[in-house]
Structure 1
Amino acid sequence: MTARTTPPFRADHVGSFLRPPYLLEAREKKARGEITAEQLRAVEDKAITEIVQFQRDVGMQAITDGEFRRTYFHIDFLEQLGGVATEIPLSVQQADGSVKLAPPVIKVTGKVRHVKDIQRADFEYLKSQVEQHAPGCTPKVTIPSPTMLHFRGGRAGIDRVAYPELDPVFYDDVAKAYGEELQSLYDAGCRYVQMDDTNLAYLCDEKMREAARQRGDDPNELPHRYAQFINKVVALKPAGMTLAMHLCRGNFKSTYAAEGNYEPVAEALLSEMNLDAYFMEYDDERSGDFRPLRFLKPGKIVVLGLVTTKFGRLENKDDLKRRIDEAAKYAPLDQLCLSPQCGFSSTVHGNLIAVEDQRRKLALVVEVAREVWGT
């Protein structure tokens, strides 16, 4: 086996990192009107420079901005598309005392369109810092999956005046908007983009499947429809750009929203989608076994999310190697990579994990990848 010189890399990661306290304080000051947007951005710039250096120091080749300019992994992006309205999700106290994030309201209120460059300025700053502090590494951008505009609300969440019928006009419009954003990023020098998708993973959970039925969707048909939807975006991807998808079952403050084996979506995900790579959660029993990997097409990459970001306990290196060997029974080892199962801070609140644990886990991913695949 050999190291990979193009993304995803043998040791990779999903994207978000714990926000430093001084950045959280600055965000609170901005919310109270005590500092300007420009002053907040200067603080974000400082924090991003530091997280770029952190990723370089721990041995990562893919470098993100930690999603430090975002509050939520999806809303901050989606609400900047024309024709999309969002509402801030609420924290809900559960009967057992735990706190979960109520699903955000995402509505399509008009024709979806790309009205401005969303990530370009943020990427340009990231790229400048990678060039200065992590030369030779690859800056990576994370954006929410386009399926977010359909799954949460279904037909009822999409304006009927703008879209009397969804297929094909709605899916074409969303794909066009995403294609224009990808082209904007490409023109700025971006070659690595990851789309974060909770919806396909949610369709592995019977509770979520029943909720889809209640909205009028067939959970057996949806994965195949989403494969066609994603392929519309892929068709507009600039040549030379790696486009990956991360599947997530929820990651708010170390909690989760769904569970279940990938089998209900595996064929649509790994055989029908034309993506370059898939980041798949496999950090505990909620994810099921590796048999769904048998659908992986030649030339595609699965990044095994074997290291949890939810808790600080460090995984055993030999256990990780055994799990990689197990996955390799269903997909060629050369088509596999390693990462944490999700980001460390999918929302500004962060997971219940220490900064030092964040470092130790990434260092473990790098060490195991080096020993399994070489460098």
Structure 2
Amino acid sequence: MAKIHSHFDHVGSYLRPQALKEAREAFAQGKISKEELLDIQDRLVKELVHHQVENGLKVISDGEFGRSWWHLDFLWELTGFEAYQQETSYKFHGAKTRTTNVRLNGQVAENPNHPFYRDFEYLLSITPAGVTPKVTIPSPSLVINRDHRSDLYADYYDSWTDFLDGLVQAYQDTIKRFYDLGARYVQLDDTTWAYLIQQLEDHKDQPDERRVFEKIAEDDVYVINKVLDGLPEDLTVATHVCRGNFKSTYLFEGGYHTISKYLGQLNYDIFFLEYDDERSGDFAPLAEIWNGREQVELVLGVITSKDSQLEDVDAIVARIQEAAQLVPLKNLGISTQCGFASTEEGNILTEEDEWKKLRLIKTITDKVWTS
């Protein structure tokens, strides 16, 4: 079976409807049961799926409506992790986040009762024929020397390599479980590469310090490719390289030139790459990221999800044509640079704004790839 490549795709998260926010708050206060919360969530996911299909998407998600964060809800439900409150919030430019984090509390393993399985099964049950439901989860790189999440590895493993291999097994088992449930498209979201862009650039004149971050990049390549090795042939696996997205703000900046050699080694089928403003740099690294791989698609995030202003169609078409000088047009796609709500707070725009953005992408896609 061929891999899924649609040129028109979306990263995954959507603004949470007010009814969902109210239901989650009511559940947190003990005013409604978990079953009542899930009933409301399911009804709103069903409406979301209808809107996605109505607006021309052939790949749909549940909007990440069942989670508070794009990454932490998944991680703290894996065996071997626990949630905790750290002292400081994440250092976004112009906004303050909650202080939730996750840390090791045992050996890492797949959780057969992970709540994301239930959410996917519901999404699959309401997905129309000819449309593919996508699973979005954080990359395993999010716990490899990131934000103190792997600090306690020596309490549970004999070596660092044993920890990395244990993480690989947990992720492989989890992805295969999604596959057994019917998933044929899984996306691993990843802010680590943007973090490394900044760190490698900041330490370019300090070789010893820079080596620390090069080692993180090498470990990430090792783990990700071992996770991907041996997965079913008809499973499409994507990644989204994200610079941070919270209330329309960001975490990191810098072009891909410092990490393109690592991305070019990763055996993903699809790469979602942020390219909505000058923080993303130019297209020059695309050739090394693509690395001549005939079945790999680079999805250019040239439409911003951070505000409601609609981009100029001709200007975006010109940017795609510029990228096509480096990577064949058939290996390119477009999307928003990130989701609309990486956390439940959401970006600063309306639900109608997000559909206008997606209709714009559909218009451009038709103009470039089907006209």
For normalisation by structure 2, the TM-score amounts to 0.92
Q: How many positions carry a matched residue from both structures?
A: 364
Report the equivalent of 2:361. 365
2 CA distance for matches of 1:320 and 1:343?
A: 19
Match among 169, 182, 188 for residue 195 of structure 1:
188
1:52 aligns with 2:57: no
Structure 1 counterpart of 2:175, one-letter code? L
Q: Secondary structure at the match of 1:183?
A: helix
Question: CA 1:365–1:82 in structure 2 vs 1: closer, same or farther (change >3 Å)?
Answer: same
Give, in angstroms, the shift of residue 156 of structure 1.
6.1
Is the CA contact (8 Å cut-off) linking 2:103 and 2:148 kept in structure 1?
A: no
1:13 aligns with 2:10: yes
Structure 1 counterpart of 2:25, one-letter code? E
1:108 aligns with 2:101: no
1:1-375 mapped onto 2 (5 Å cutoff) = 6-87=3-84, 98-101=94-97, 104-118=100-114, 119-131=116-128, 135-153=129-147, 157-167=151-161, 169-206=162-199, 218-270=212-264, 272-295=265-288, 296-297=290-291, 298=293, 299-374=295-370
Give, in angstroms, the shift of residue 172 of structure 1.
1.2
Q: Secondary structure at the match of 1:251?
A: coil
Is the CA contact (8 Å cut-off) linking 1:251 and 1:346 kept in structure 2?
A: yes
Give, in angstroms, the shift of residue 101 of structure 1.
2.4
Identity of aligned residues (%): 39
1 CA distance for matches of 2:195 and 2:124?
A: 33
Over residues 340-367 of structure 1, what are the superposed CA-to-partner deviations in whole Å (9 max), with x where a residue is unaligned? 0000000000000111110110011111
Give, in angstroms, the shift of residue 220 of structure 1.
2.5
Structure 1 counterpart of 2:64, one-letter code? E
Q: Secondary structure at the match of 1:283?
A: coil
Over residues 61-118 of structure 1, what are the superposed CA-to-partner deviations in whole Å (9 max), with x where a residue is unaligned? 101000000000111100011111233578859999x323267533222211113243
2 CA distance for matches of 1:277 and 1:92?
A: 31
Structure 1 counterpart of 2:135, one-letter code? V
Give, in angstroms, the shift of residue 158 of structure 1.
3.0
Is the CA contact (8 Å cut-off) linking 1:176 and 1:236 kept in structure 2?
A: no
Question: CA 1:367–1:136 in structure 2 vs 1: closer, same or farther (change >3 Å)?
Answer: same
List runs of 5+ in structure 1 lacking aligned partners: none
Q: Which moved more, 1:154-163 or 1:303-312?
A: 154-163
Over residues 117-175 of structure 1, what are the superposed CA-to-partner deviations in whole Å (9 max), with x where a residue is unaligned? 432211110011113xxx211000100100111132468623312124212x1111111
Is the CA contact (8 Å cut-off) linking 2:284 and 2:326 kept in structure 1?
A: yes
Q: Secondary structure at the match of 1:254?
A: coil
2 CA distance for matches of 1:109 and 1:95?
A: 27
Structure 2 counterpart of 1:366, one-letter code? K
1 CA distance for matches of 2:301 and 2:266?
A: 20
1 CA distance for matches of 2:89 and 2:49?
A: 34
Structure 2 counterpart of 1:87, one-letter code? Y
2 CA distance for matches of 1:136 and 1:191?
A: 13
Is the CA contact (8 Å cut-off) linking 2:103 and 2:149 kept in structure 1?
A: no
Is the CA contact (8 Å cut-off) linking 2:190 and 2:242 kept in structure 1?
A: yes
Structure 1 counterpart of 2:141, one-letter code? T
Give, in angstroms, the shift of residue 368 of structure 1.
0.5
Question: CA 1:173–1:367 in structure 2 vs 1: closer, same or farther (change >3 Å)?
Answer: same
1 CA distance for matches of 2:88 and 2:22?
A: 20
Q: Secondary structure at the match of 2:276?
A: coil
Structure 2 counterpart of 1:370, one-letter code? D
List runs of 5+ in structure 2 lacking aligned partners: none
2 CA distance for matches of 1:156 and 1:193?
A: 24
Is the CA contact (8 Å cut-off) linking 2:244 and 2:252 kept in structure 1?
A: yes
Q: Secondary structure at the match of 1:313?
A: coil
2 CA distance for matches of 1:49 and 1:125?
A: 9
2 CA distance for matches of 1:77 and 1:240?
A: 24
CA RMSD in angstroms comes to 2.5
Is the CA contact (8 Å cut-off) linking 2:186 and 2:238 kept in structure 1?
A: yes
Give, in angstroms, the shift of residue 331 of structure 1.
1.2
Is the CA contact (8 Å cut-off) linking 1:100 and 1:255 kept in structure 2?
A: no
Structure 1 counterpart of 2:279, one-letter code? R
